[in-house]
Structure 1
């Protein structure tokens, strides 16, 4: 029997997807542009010795035909490495995760297109009436950090929550953690999830924040995502049906609407998420899958266009990788991927349509270049094969050279 450990480096794209121009993202390259900015700055090139051993910069080079700035001649990797193109339309967190686990969306999620007055008035009216609200603020496309600075004081004065969206399929509600209350915010998001049933919106996101008008407002770590459930069985469902265990760490459980999950582990910040992953590896038995999403790459650095913060977070996670590699048992498979891009050098604050890295490592697994994979689902199909499960509905396993 075997185990799989799946790490999602949320938003770590390795270059524009073939159809990126359809999304206004031709030329986006999260990994490459972070590397280029570091190589050109006084801080110096990205230092990723352990990710380099696993093949991350090699995967980026495979997608581009040359190494990223600051990497020079790359050594041979110790595992399997390549990159994957998303088949689903969009650049959303759920669609990227679901496709990785074998479910490719045939139709894109709905979005709210207008920059101002983004939401249908009837939807907001129902939210106000059924939620017992004095009203709502926002009703626009916005950066989550910017809008709480702009409207936080008015929110405290009026008691009206802040509602906003982006180019992604999201309905976000921000409210003060103490003045409005976390439980009230969560209940309001559950109501919004029900009201959005006919709009095919991928996620409702609770965005609690703290602070005052005088000190400034900042997001708290108590975000919660209310996603649509996957439209078909995923790798998670297949493993549970076979009597296995799925441990979802961080926001993984929310992304899958808690379907196919045996146990959720709440953790915030990359170090805490990494610690939780190590703890799960000591506890999980055979026939188990541990899945962890490292959300700060996206939420803290990508969306906020913090290039050097993104670089520092990559280097910090790289420094901890030896702990995880040493914890691998015979029969374990480590898979590392992403779900979309969020290029911190790109205009705006939205996700970017990019290819993702595909890395796999296991004790005794012969190193090999995987080249381009035509679906994120190849990752899930490979994990299913490793776990001895029946084939998933999409994807081709890369665990054998054939």
Structure 2
């Protein structure tokens, strides 16, 4: 029985998208810019022979007409291409929903004010709903910076740290011990309910727990939880799950992104190696017709948003070294898909996502080298999965299943 393994290299863009001007992201290129920065600082090219052989560098060159130093050859196995996003935003849910066949063609609501992001009226309603008198923060911020700034006040006052970003999010940071993890989850659930009741179309409320004694050692933990709205229609995950032949398995934050709809097995993991290990373990265990869907969040949260091109490059090299482990466990009918949900160029001003093409890399033991070219929507992946699992077609996207099956 064939299985689909989907690895989302969170934030791994490969060149600015056709509509990047609208987002102020013209010339953003997560891959090319981090590779160039790595070469300039380390005086050696990024070492990615396995990804290069799948066509990653070739896809980036086609998408952006950029070249840069790297160690690795030309495409020789698998299929490669690059996809543009048709969803209205460059956020996490939009990217993931679109890749599963459901683009977001409406506009999210946002908290656009950089300071005093949440109105007095909304905060009063949150206080009444939660019983928590007040908050700290109330601004656009980086998740690591804001706990350094407000973490000690939070421990002393018991007030949660609430903040947002350019995405459609309401984020809540709280100390796991002094505030309590269960209390944090309850607070976020109540905020989610309130935003829905107020008809505010905010994509996610995110619980961001942390530990530590003071600003010098505060550290976020792996107990993050996302409270998302549901996708606007059934994704390909729903269709495969309803077929009731195999499993749809979430590794990492995938289940939260889809509000746990279309998922019947959930595995939490923290850290790049832990996410990879959990995915490999599912490949070992699941012998039936299944989707194993993993988000490698560390590329985004640890390196993209923190504007760390060197760390990003090293993480990419590490993923490259571990790729053969996937190949060894896959059977003849398995297909590995590698893509991203948006860009987050670590050399770009600010700390927000960037509007970019994302890679479409495909590996199976039977594919030699196929150029998939430019794809007009991330939904081509969802349509391909639908054909692979013989479920009804999605409303968006063009399948490339025949091209990778010849």
TM-score of the aligned structures, taking structure 1 as reference length: 0.97
Question: 1:240: how far off?
Answer: 1.2
Aligned residue for 1:216, secondary structure, equals coil
Question: 1:45: how far off?
Answer: 1.0
Alpha-carbon separation, structure 2, partners of 1:42 and 1:115: 36
Aligned residue for 2:401, secondary structure, equals coil
**Structure 2 spans left out of the alignment, 5+ residues:** none
Could you list the per-position Cα deviations for residues 122-145 of structure 1 after superposition, in whole angstroms to 9, with x for gaps in the alignment? 221121122111310111111111
Answer yes or no: is the 8 Å Cα contact 2:10–2:340 preserved in 1: yes
Question: 1:366: how far off?
Answer: 4.0
Alpha-carbon separation, structure 1, partners of 2:373 and 2:21: 22
Alpha-carbon separation, structure 2, partners of 1:216 and 1:247: 34
Could you list the per-position Cα deviations for residues 196-222 of structure 1 after superposition, in whole angstroms to 9, with x for gaps in the alignment? 111111111101111123633221221
Q: How much is the aligned-residue C-alpha RMSD, in angstroms?
A: 1.4
Could you list the per-position Cα deviations for residues 61-115 of structure 1 after superposition, in whole angstroms to 9, with x for gaps in the alignment? 1102343x10389512311101000000111100000000000112121111011
Count, aligned residues: 401
Answer yes or no: is the 8 Å Cα contact 2:49–2:71 preserved in 1: no
Alpha-carbon separation, structure 1, partners of 2:42 and 2:252: 34
Could you list the per-position Cα deviations for residues 212-234 of structure 1 after superposition, in whole angstroms to 9, with x for gaps in the alignment? 23633221221111111111000
Answer yes or no: is the 8 Å Cα contact 2:16–2:64 preserved in 1: no
Alpha-carbon separation, structure 2, partners of 1:116 and 1:328: 50
Alpha-carbon separation, structure 1, partners of 2:301 and 2:105: 27
Question: 1:401: how far off?
Answer: 4.1
Alignment match, 1:88: 87
Q: How does 1:355-374 map to 2 (within 5 A)?
A: 355-374=357-376
Could you list the per-position Cα deviations for residues 260-289 of structure 1 after superposition, in whole angstroms to 9, with x for gaps in the alignment? 101000111111111101110111132210
Q: How does 1:301-316 map to 2 (within 5 A)?
A: 301-316=303-318
Aligned residue for 2:218, secondary structure, equals strand
Answer yes or no: is the 8 Å Cα contact 1:333–1:386 preserved in 2: no
Alignment match, 1:135: 134
Aligned residue for 1:193, secondary structure, equals helix
Answer yes or no: is the 8 Å Cα contact 1:134–1:158 preserved in 2: no
Alignment match, 1:238: 239
Alignment match, 1:219: 220
Could you list the per-position Cα deviations for residues 158-215 of structure 1 after superposition, in whole angstroms to 9, with x for gaps in the alignment? 1110100000111000111110000000111111111111111111110111112363
Instruction: Select 2:326's aligned residue among 309, 313, 324.
Output: 324
Question: 1:3: how far off?
Answer: 1.1
TM-score of the aligned structures, taking structure 2 as reference length: 0.96
Answer yes or no: is the 8 Å Cα contact 1:153–1:213 preserved in 2: yes
Answer yes or no: is the 8 Å Cα contact 1:4–1:387 preserved in 2: no
Aligned residue for 1:133, secondary structure, equals coil
Q: Name segments (4+ residues, structure 1) moved above 2 Å.
A: 71-74, 212-216, 399-402
Alignment match, 1:77: 76
Aligned residue for 1:353, secondary structure, equals coil
Alignment match, 2:230: 229
